[in-house]
Amino acid sequence: MFFRWIAEHLEEVLGASLLAAMAILAFANVVTRYIFEYPLAFTEELEVNALVWLTLFGTSLAFKRKHHLRLLFFQDKLPDAIRRLLNTLIGLAGMGLFASLGYLGYQQLLDERILEITSESLNLPQWMYTVCIPVGCTLIVIRLLQVTLAELRGRG
């Protein structure tokens, strides 16, 4: 039961946790900068890269809930069969887009590993941050597939 709830609310749980961690990091940076006059420069690196994860989780959630940008004004005026076909085509196009983006992110990750590129502040391998692109895009494609299959079954 618990694992099912987590699977159904994965984006919300991960996004809320990430946002809380980002807020704590930003607060710690403000405290150290203005009270101790010693800024924690590395927090900006972590927050910027966490924002990419957060964006991908939000995109996945938007597709899951069908809250992504669509032309509903025109779409709602179409007959059910055509609307279902259009939603299927939109889902397939989205899957193609995010599968391509995920593949390119994976290629970038491999390049960063081969070239041993490191981050600016923490000197961590850059691929550790880039991994969010293929992982996030995979999650988005899974959510798009779920919504598209539900649409084809008439439950969308």
118 phi, psi to nearest 5 deg: -120, 160
pLDDT tens, N- to C-terminus, the chain (156 residues)? 888 888 889 999 999 999 999 999 999 999 999 998 888 888 999 999 999 999 999 999 999 998 887 777 788 888 988 888 888 998 999 999 999 999 999 999 999 999 999 998 899 999 999 999 999 999 999 999 999 999 888 765
Residues 17, 23: Cα–Cα separation, whole Å: 10
Q: What is the pTM of this model?
A: 0.88
3-state secondary structure 67-108: CCCCCHHHHCCCCHHHHHHHHHHHHHHHHHHHHHHHHHHHHH
Q: Are 12 and 92 in contact (CB under 8 A)?
A: no
CB atoms within 10 A of CB 4: 8
Ramachandran bin of 80, using left for φ above 0, alpha for ψ from -120 to 50, beta for the remaining angles: alpha
Please list the alpha-helical segments (H only) found in the chain.
Answer: 2-8, 10-34, 42-65, 72-75, 80-115, 127-130, 132-152
